[in-house]
Amino acid sequence: MKTPHAVRALMGILRREMLRTLRQRGRLLSAIIRPLVWLAIFAAGFRSVLGLSITPPYQTYVLYEVYVVPGLAAMMLLFHAMASSLAMVYDREMGSMRLLLTAPLPRWYLLAARLLASVVVGLPLVYLFLLIARYWDVRPPLLGYLAVFPALVLSGLMLGAFGLLVSSVSTQMENFAGVMNFVIFPTFFASTALYPIWRLAEAGPVLATIAAWNPFSSAVELIRFTLYLRFDPVSALVVLACLVVFFLAAVVGYDPGRGLWSRRGGEG
């Protein structure tokens, strides 16, 4: 694999992913509105529970801003990863995926380029949400916006690799829509995205155990800590390990000779 060819392929895949996303204006709009709706609902909920006024003091938002906002940022990465995986299934049915994977470049590199392009396209949306969240007095340190960048990239890659793995086992585009709902909502709600682990433990030890072993919780905690200029090495290691496992499994799944495609006759 020569470097000029690899760079050209990466730039081509990135350009295609950016054009596809920009043309899907409904997807862009929903990607921003969805977390903002959640943010507004939880803001009202916290005001009601704590008995706050319309313009409460900043200190009363500590639990709210530390737990909900980073969790919603991770939720954006999760939804974006699954939407990108849906596009992979569509490309496979249309035949463009086979053209991509038969290019004279290693299969793992082509999938990694597609994964990286998806993360690059999704990150500006997350930062836009974090900036808009300042309207709700969610104001982490300014350096936190820079410190959280590696955490967002690593978490986005891990969730994107998971989406690649899910798309590799989906046989039809119609089935994948149901798979998305089956994967997204349990992954999101059975995590620490909205509530701390000790609050989940009060609700039930089983739910707390599931959330603790949920890789999405590690992504949420990694984003949560780095946004406030702290570092959680355990979460970082878990996210990195899951990224490697999910990506390797996806590479095998997209291999016509060894993966699930061989069982389907290499359709695509």
User: Given a cut of 90, is residue 61 above it in pLDDT?
Assistant: no
Residue 146 confidence (pLDDT): 95
Task: Encode pLDDT of 113-162 as tens digits.
Answer: 889 988 998 899 999 999 988 877 778 889 999 999 999 999 999 999 99
Residue 268 forms part of a structural domain: no
- Residue % of the chain over a pLDDT of 90: 28
What local confidence, expressed as pLDDT, does residue 46 receive?
56
Domain membership of residue 22 (yes or no) is yes
Instruction: Tell me whether residue 154 is in a domain.
Output: yes
Per-residue pLDDT at 54: 40
In a domain, 94, yes or no: yes
C-alpha dist (Å) from residue 116 to 14, 202, 240: 8, 39, 15
| 159, part of any domain | yes
What is the structure's pLDDT at 65?
62
pLDDT digits (tens, 9 = 90+) for 78-89: 988 888 887 777
Tell me how many degrees the CA angle 34-38-41 measures, rounded to the nearest 5: 140
Could you tell me the sign of the dihedral formed by the alpha carbons of 93, 97, 187, 129, in that order? negative
C-alpha 88 chain-centroid distance: 15
> For the chain, what is the domain count?
1
Predicted confidence at residue 174, as pLDDT, reads: 62
Q: Which domain holds residue 64?
A: 3-263
pLDDT of the residue at 128: 92
For residues 70-77, average pLDDT:
91
Q: What is the pLDDT of residues 93-105, one digit of tens each?
A: 666 666 666 667 7
Please give the pLDDT value at position 33: 83
* Residue 151 belongs to a domain: yes
Name the average pLDDT for the chain.
Answer: 79
Q: Which of 38-52, 99-113, 156-170 is predicted with the least confidence, judged by mean pLDDT? A: 38-52
The pLDDT, as a whole number, for residue 99 is 64
Q: Nearest to residue 136, comparing CAs of 44, 71, 74, 73? A: 44
Most confident of 62-76, 105-119, 216-230: 216-230
Rounded-to-integer distance, Cα 111 and Cα 252, Å: 11
**Do residues 71 and 35 lie in contact, with contact meaning Cβ atoms separated by under 8 Å?**
no
The pLDDT-based confidence of 42 (bands split at 50, 70, 90) is low
**Helical segments of the chain, H only:** 3-23, 25-50, 62-94, 96-101, 107-132, 142-169, 173-189, 197-203, 205-213, 215-227, 233-253, 260-263
Q: Would you say residue 178 lies in a domain?
A: yes
Non-local (6+) Cβ contacts of 257 within 8 A are: none
Residue 136 belongs to some domain of the structure: yes
Q: Indicate whether 169 pLDDT > 80.
A: no
**Torsion angle in degrees (nearest 10) through CA of 35, 149, 143, 36:** -10
DSSP output for 105-147: S-HHHHHHHHHHHHHHHHHHHHHHHHHHGGGGT----HHHHHH
* Phi, psi torsion values for 56, nearest 5 degrees: -75, 160
Task: Using a pLDDT cut of 70, give the percent of the chain over it.
Answer: 76
Q: Could you give the CA distance from residue 203 to residue 80 in angstroms, rounded to a whole number?
A: 30
The reply to whether the predicted model has a pTM over 0.85 is no
Please provide the size of the chain in residues.
268
